[in-house]
Amino acid sequence: MKHIEIDGHFIKEKLDDSLIVTAHIPPGLKVVDIFTKELPSARFQDLIGKHDLYPLKEISVIV
């Protein structure tokens, strides 16, 4: 866990020095939700397209 503490201090220092800034991202634009949340089917399908992901049944594999 020590490396996480060091990283946290590093980021806080950079924020305090205004070397990095954070921005608010509205919930509808958070494309990483597909990896972190249970989503309604329509939202899931929308995010799959934004990540260029495809269901396995649509991918053909040449062996």
Tokens of 44: 């899931």
- Alpha-carbon distances of 41 from 37, 38, 48, rounded to whole Å: 12, 9, 10
pTM: 0.45
pLDDT, one tens digit per residue, over 8-52 is 888 899 999 999 999 998 987 888 888 888 888 888 888 888 888
Tokens of 4: 């996480």
Query: How much is the pLDDT for 13?
Result: 93
